[in-house]
Amino acid sequence: MPTKLANIKRPNQYFVCEMSKTKRYPESELIRLCSRPVASDVIVQARWTLLDWLGCIFAARNSGVAYAMGRAQHSSGYDIVHAGLCLTDNDAQSAALLLGTLGNVLEMDDLHRTSILHPGDAVAAAALAVGLRQPCAGSELLTALIRGYEAAIRIGRVAASGGYTHFYNSSTCGVFGAAIAAIDLLGANEDTLADAVGQAGMMASGIWQCRLEPTFSKQLATAQAARSGVLAAKLASAGFPGARGILTGPMGFFKSYYPEADPAQLTAPSDWALLEMSFKPFPACRHTHPAISAALDLRNVAKAPRRIIVQTYRAALDFCDAPDPATPEEARFSLQHAVAVALAKGAPAIANFDPDALSDPDLIDLRARVQLEVAPDLDAAFPQSYGARIRIEAADGTLQGITCPAAWGDPENPMREADIIAKFRANAAYGKLASPQADEILQAVLTLPDAPDLSALQAAFDAAFAPTPEYA
């Protein structure tokens, strides 16, 4: 039985200056907000967040980055999902690293708009890595997930308030959420929570150069955030003190990483941030989703278009202006390809971004007809709203258009529970899970709020990822 952190004494800080011992930073209010009681309906909602993230990592388990991380970490058969979820003799830090590698591979991870980050990639990985390796009720796992999301998103809101920077928020801010989730499962008091946040800040990292080159570094960033979050919690549990002003202090995280940001948003009143999440129905960058949604609505009138005019916000063009994608990764960040797929094929699936789709003559022709523009009204609404407008110009010069202010999956236009289940099953099948095993995991996740422990979930993982000749 692990020692509860609340029972661990924090050592005397004779080496800390007097000001840091007496000053109360806003971080203490952040900790209070993340530690407040979680209502049962929010815990029930968190099931869908966990299920969606699991589907994302299952779909990516046979990717190149998954095998490369498996080789680097000497995982059995290089199946890092099996190693992270089933080999519980692995330490939680290693498991978090492996699981944190996969959430963003196929660009289907959930998004929080105003913080411009994908918290689950680090937070869910850390929570599950810790939760599976100690006594833990299902509601405790989901509560830790909710609290981790709260920390990452509150910090991310501040980070994003100054606009896009060179830092990758999902990693730099996600590490704090991973630490809060991990320490919550281990058992925490005010001091250990503060120490975990302090140590997480010392390991916050991730810069955007990785998106300008063909790398696996974006996956490393979230993997390292997950592992560092667990390490921060473990250090706090051992009485390893951290800076109380790590976020808002004069040499802290915001001043150093995001100097244009407004720290007031750190403790602004709001409901649980997990309830503000957007789910992704399509395997592409979220910046393409409003245009995809608009294109799907226009599909019936887009017959042999002369031009396809896509108007959206500046950040979408900065990330997703790729008229001639050469790889699946580039295609997932191509507004031109995503819109062409939606018009020609319907709702985009993972296969529509594979190499064969990139060389499809019909899609090549449609991509060439896509013209991107910044729409001032949609740009002004970002990041509170991610919108797009599409106009189809026919051969005779007539125009048909539609505006999508909220893509399918946003809170204003949500995916239904049946849609999230269908996405999970499709992702599990893409990751070569048999339907019975995928459904067993599905049921174990949906019953977590009332589960006395994680034994049913662990059994479902073990059955689904038992070694096969392919991974032996």
| Secondary structure E strands in 118-184 | none
Note the pLDDT of residue 399.
86
Average pLDDT over residues 138-167: 96
Q: What is the pLDDT of residues 452-468, one digit of tens each?
A: 999 999 999 999 998 75
Note the pLDDT of residue 468.
57
Residue 384: phi and psi, rounded to 5, are: -65, -30
Asked whether the beta carbons of 382 and 374 are under 8 A apart, the reply is no
User: How far is the C-alpha of 105 from the C-alpha of 51, rounded, in Å?
Assistant: 17
Amino acid found at 73: Q
Residue 412: phi and psi, rounded to 5, are: -80, -15
Which residue bears the tokens 């492996």? 98
Q: What is the pLDDT of residues 328-357, one digit of tens each?
A: 999 999 999 999 999 999 999 999 999 999
Strand, coil or helix: 391: strand
Closest CA to 275 of 45, 29, 15, 19: 45
Token readout for 66 is: 């998954």
Which residue bears the tokens 């990483």? 257
User: How far is the C-alpha of 48 from the C-alpha of 51, rounded, in Å?
Assistant: 5
Asked whether the beta carbons of 447 and 138 are under 8 A apart, the reply is yes
Token readout for 229 is: 């979050």
User: How far is the C-alpha of 55 from the C-alpha of 423, rounded, in Å?
Assistant: 7
Average pLDDT, the chain: 92
Asked whether the beta carbons of 183 and 193 are under 8 A apart, the reply is yes
Note the pLDDT of residue 185.
98
User: How far is the C-alpha of 58 from the C-alpha of 333, rounded, in Å?
Assistant: 21
User: How far is the C-alpha of 173 from the C-alpha of 329, rounded, in Å?
Assistant: 24
Q: pLDDT class for 77, splitting at 50, 70, 90?
A: confident
Asked whether the beta carbons of 99 and 57 are under 8 A apart, the reply is yes
Burial class of residue 330, CB neighbours in 10 A (0-12, 13-18, 19+): middle
User: How far is the C-alpha of 141 from the C-alpha of 427, rounded, in Å?
Assistant: 23
Closest CA to 115 of 373, 426, 386: 386
Q: pLDDT class for 396, splitting at 50, 70, 90?
A: confident
Closest CA to 106 of 418, 425, 429, 349: 349
For the chain, percent of residues with pLDDT exceeding 90: 86
Token readout for 190 is: 């005010």
Q: Is the pLDDT of residue 190 over 70?
A: yes
User: How far is the C-alpha of 151 from the C-alpha of 146, rounded, in Å?
Assistant: 9
Q: What is the pLDDT of residues 263-283, one digit of tens each?
A: 999 999 999 999 999 999 999
Q: What is the pLDDT of residues 372-394, one digit of tens each?
A: 999 999 999 998 899 999 999 88
Amino acid found at 334: S
Strand, coil or helix: 343: helix
Note the pLDDT of residue 2.
41
Ramachandran category for residue 432: left, alpha or beta (phi over 0 → left; psi -120 to 50 → alpha): left
Residues with Cβ within 8 Å of 396's Cβ and at least 6 positions away in sequence, in order, are: none
CB atoms within 10 A of CB 395: 9
User: How far is the C-alpha of 339 from the C-alpha of 296, rounded, in Å?
Assistant: 8
Which domains does the chain show, CATH number per domain? 29-276 (1.10.4100.10), 286-404 (3.30.1330.120)
Q: Note the pTM of the prediction, 2 decimals.
A: 0.92
Token readout for 316 is: 């979408």
Q: What is the CA radius of gyration of the chain?
A: 22
Strand, coil or helix: 256: helix
